[in-house]
A and B are shown apart, each in its own frame.
Chain A
């Protein structure tokens, strides 16, 4: 059984450069926290069922050292997709990169696991787009996944209900931030006597056409970045605010 966990490297800090009108991402980076939830669920299945865990990341080569640390969590094969051609990809173009790689190099995956969203992107759309590209079902907001006979059972959390699904076959699963499992480094994994290497692939190996990746492959453009103006700053209450609150609460009693 092969489980591929998508892991994103995100900046530790994001700031807005008012002069240049652009978002400045700090050089210091971390593994997207939500992806550790996806990884935790994958490691759990590895321990129960003996799955082989891959991680797949699209990032500049400079973040390799962060990805080596994934061995300490129990990952079997961390993989980095790195190429200038992938830069400035939106969700659609990024999906093309992952789908292209997976079809070529891990066509026999059982599951693709992802976190709910990345801390720097927030869209939460990548998992569904990859599922469509691979022609498999997609379930989001999953709290838990368990084997049940020949199938897998997933608990999906919606706005006011929790649904249990039986998944027959492969799927892309994105995990809710409320899922209780977070991957942690394990002493056993740290001292595991394996040859540790990071597999790095460029577009010359994956061979995706230019119009599917990067800026040319993207389906959205950011036209402007601005600071949201405070329209009503002048009606701020700066003293005796408690009286305003108590008056409203009093009126609600009536």
Chain B
């Protein structure tokens, strides 16, 4: 089956994509990335993206159009979906197929999964973006034009300061499974091992940590070597922002979804584990 993969700076999980699609055509929205087609200048708005894709690619000559879940690709996905009357499936964690139909497997609230099928091809699937780049050296990018947006003009661009702070080898994450009383111990550990602290959206909503440290769909993404997830259930809304080489999860709930993603699965109360780690850090 054939897929178009459309991304800005990060690609979706190609390991999963390649299991279902043998013919993959990569489309980058920036002039700098490696892909089969790249624009003559960086795409800035969704209308520019729609122009670039639809004028340079026959989208109906594919079984699926896979967008990374970065801000701009998602905007373009929704516009193309309506323009051509195509079904769009967001938060796709994986695919499934029977005969020649491809479906999206979505990890939804709590521990629920949904299998959703577009009624006709191509379906539009929005998948988590990972920090990988296209290493296929045989791809010779073709530079293609697009219509510049006359109604929405980019005036300026500023680097976000929080992304500077979370470029750390180790990051500690806090979820609702961590009581307020433990916060000082967590910040103590953070200081000792030089690991910034991030959190899930509900923890920020409680006011425990500033919203700018929320990781996930509604926050930032992190790319540490090690992520220590304390009392985090592992809902897709948070995990979609975690791209760690190794994840240690500490959770008292043995059915917590995070255990299916973690490399080290500690089924204990955070308050039983944390003080001893802090003690070690003080002495080491």
Considering the complex, which residues of chain A in the window 197-254 have a beta carbon less than 8 Å from any beta carbon of chain B? 218-233, 235-239, 241-242, 244-246, 248-250, 252-253
Q: Report the separation of the CA atoms of residues A193 and B140 in the bound assembly, to the nearest whole angstrom.
A: 67
Interface membership of chain B positions 145-169, coded 1 if the CB is closer than 8 angstroms to chain A and 0 otherwise: 0000111111111111001000001
Is A129 in contact with chain B by the CB < 8 A criterion? yes
Q: Report the separation of the CA atoms of residues A53 and B268 in the bound assembly, to the nearest whole angstrom.
A: 51
Chain B residues within 8 Å of A164, by CB: 154-158
Chain A residues within 8 Å of B274, by CB: 242
Q: Report the separation of the CA atoms of residues A141 and B91 in the bound assembly, to the nearest whole angstrom.
A: 17
Is A192 in contact with chain B by the CB < 8 A criterion? no
Chain A residues within 8 Å of B149, by CB: 137
Chain B residues within 8 Å of A160, by CB: 159-160, 163
Given known A-B contacts A140-B75, A156-B71, A249-B281, A220 and B90 have beta carbons under 8 A apart? no
Considering the complex, which residues of chain B in the window 33-88 have a beta carbon less than 8 Å from any beta carbon of chain A? 44-47, 50, 70-72, 74-83, 85-88
Q: B154 near A165 (CB under 8 angstroms)?
A: yes
Is A28 in contact with chain B by the CB < 8 A criterion? no
Contact of A125 among B78, B169, B219 (CB under 8 A): B78
Is A65 in contact with chain B by the CB < 8 A criterion? no
Is B185 in contact with chain A by the CB < 8 A criterion? no
- Most chain A CB inside 10 Å of its own CB: which residue of B82, B120, B226: B82
Given known A-B contacts A137-B45, A168-B151, A178-B211, A128 and B157 have beta carbons under 8 A apart? no
Given known A-B contacts A220-B119, A228-B111, A132 and B78 have beta carbons under 8 A apart? yes
Contact of A159 among B70, B109, B155, B246 (CB under 8 A): B70
Known: A162-B158, A221-B117, A229-B260. 6 other contacts (CB 8 A): A131-B79, A157-B160, A165-B152, A220-B117, A225-B114, A249-B281
Chain B residues within 8 Å of A171, by CB: 151-152
Q: Report the separation of the CA atoms of residues A231 and B113 in the bound assembly, to the nearest whole angstrom.
A: 14
Q: Which chain A residues have a beta carbon within 8 Å of chain B's beta carbons?
A: 14, 16, 23, 90-92, 95, 116-117, 122-133, 137-141, 153, 156-169, 171, 176-178, 218-233, 235-239, 241-242, 244-246, 248-250, 252-253
Number of A-B contacts (CB under 8 A): 258
Q: A241 near B250 (CB under 8 angstroms)?
A: yes
Contact of B82 among A132, A228, A232, A242 (CB under 8 A): A132
Q: B113 near A227 (CB under 8 angstroms)?
A: yes
- A143 CB to nearest chain B CB (Å): 11
Q: B276 near A221 (CB under 8 angstroms)?
A: no
Chain B residues within 8 Å of A246, by CB: 276-277, 280-281, 284
Residue of A nearest to B248 (CB): A245
Q: B157 near A162 (CB under 8 angstroms)?
A: yes
Residue of B nearest to A136 (CB): B151
Given known A-B contacts A168-B153, A225-B113, A139 and B89 have beta carbons under 8 A apart? no
- A46 CB to nearest chain B CB (Å): 23
Is B238 in contact with chain A by the CB < 8 A criterion? no
Residue of B nearest to A245 (CB): B277
Chain B residues within 8 Å of A122, by CB: 90-91, 108-109, 217, 237
Is B134 in contact with chain A by the CB < 8 A criterion? no
- B20 CB to nearest chain A CB (Å): 16
Q: B81 near A92 (CB under 8 angstroms)?
A: yes
Residue of B nearest to A121 (CB): B90
Considering the complex, which residues of chain B in the window 104-163 have a beta carbon less than 8 Å from any beta carbon of chain A? 107-120, 123, 126, 149-160, 163
